[in-house]
Each structure stands twice: as C-alpha cells, then as structure tokens.
C-alpha cells in the first residue's frame, strides 16, 4: 500500500517503512507526526483519488532527525554593471520514517 500526501508545499509518495526527507517540521526527534492532506491511496489495481484530499485518511510517521542539507552556491549577477553578489544557502529538513497509512 502506498499514499501520496502533501507536506510543506510539496507532494510525496510513500509506503510503510519508507524514510523521507521533508521540508522542516517543528517536531522533536522520536516524535510521531501525522499528515492529513492525503491526495491518493493505492494498493495494486485499487486506487482511491481525493478531490482534492481523501477525508478520514492520514499518513503517520516517526521523526528520525532534524538537519541541514548540503551548502549550495547562490549568485546574483548583472552583466556590464560591475554587480556580483555571491552567497550560500543551506535548507533545513526533517527525516521521517513512515509507520502507518490508514483511513477509509
């Protein structure tokens, strides 16, 4: 069984036992989180699609860790204007293990 759910403005496909790297969620390590914006649930040929979400369904997971991704360079540049700004960015993330997919 798998589900497609929405978290942090993005959509994720997950099955039970999967480890996902999501946008930062305010939760402690080891805490249980629930995602109620389930868009689709599928098992084999049986697929239920929400309009836009499936009522009464949720995806549960356990927070494994909080972290920061690799550093990426950011460059602002305008040609012929002697304008160059360089910096870096590190995005926060939350690693979640999917423990249950349930609902109607």
DSSP-assigned states of every residue in 14-46:
EETT-EEEEEP-S--TT-EEEE--EEEEEETTE
- Coil vs helix vs strand at 78: strand
Q: What is the extent of the structural domain holding 61?
A: 2-102
pLDDT at residue number 102: 86
pTM of the model: 0.85
Tell me the CA distances in angstroms from 10 to 15, 18, 73, 104, one per residue in order.
17, 17, 23, 23
Quote the number of domains for the chain: 1
- Count other Cβ atoms within 10 Å, centred on residue 95: 16
Under-70 pLDDT residues of the chain: 103-104
pLDDT at residue number 104: 53
């Amino acid at each position: 069984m798998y589900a497609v759910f929405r978290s942090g403005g993005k959509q994720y496909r997950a099955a039970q036992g999967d480890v996902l790297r999501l946008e930062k969620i305010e939760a402690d390590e080891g805490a249980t989180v629930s995602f109620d914006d389930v868009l689709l649930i599928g098992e084999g040929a049986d697929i239920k699609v929400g309009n836009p979400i499936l009522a009464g369904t949720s995806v549960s997971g356990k927070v494994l860790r909080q972290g920061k991704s690799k550093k990426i360079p950011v460059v602002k540049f305008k040609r012929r204007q002697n304008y160059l700004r360089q910096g870096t960015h590190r995005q926060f993330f939350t690693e979640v293990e999917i423990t249950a997919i349930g609902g109607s």
